Structure 1
């Protein structure tokens, strides 16, 4: 295994605060659907879904805003992911089979294909986080994805850094 310099990438608190404001606004809209549009079933169902999804997102974003832990740490053991609502935690280099990029709706994700995807899915404690990882596994072949949305680091540079470190470990 090659020697890797430890890299810590901080969370982008400004971007997280803006996302939190958006999540709060959508949660309020969902509550409005629920409380003021009682007689129409589609509004009630939509309201419940919006409140659950954006309320969950707001709770994760609020925690991230208070968190001073780096969003991503890359070192000799692997990648420590604390970058999103579906953060994987510690991902060991020996578990990673491939690193590739997926683009969906103009949004890029770094996918980490792992040898034991169920291990990472089972570590998630929240139902929605597990479901998101299961969706990623079914759709992209891996439950683990990293985006720079909440990080102070450009996407292409992060992909190059992770890919280069991964390739060093497989030599």
Structure 2
């Protein structure tokens, strides 16, 4: 069976993400109108690498052993999100700042690459995620309809590095 025929990203239109609200002692953040295109939602490349070791015996005196580890890589995940509404309020620090506006976010180039290492944990037969690495190749964003446009333009390189 061809796995590409099972998952057909061209048949998925848009996936709407519900309103996201985040709050802590320093920041309130709300993101709305976030939609991901189905064509960009699925990775262009999926790599699965498996390492297995199994030792068993029909005799009770010899203990069975088994170790399994999988490396899963999802790469070239791109996103083009337009007209994402945001609102934030910084509650602490040197200056208390609040703003709202509309953002366009482009995740391009080689896009997003996610590599996860999953391994068996021994006798309890469960799996454990050992580590996850995420790499962002190109991230561009533009913000409009806001109150602090010069501030965003001057802090864009720093913000892009922090988000990546």
TM-score (structure 2 length as normaliser) = 0.31
- Between Structure 1 and Structure 2, whose CA radius of gyration is higher? 2
More helix by share: 1
TM-score (structure 1 length as normaliser) = 0.30
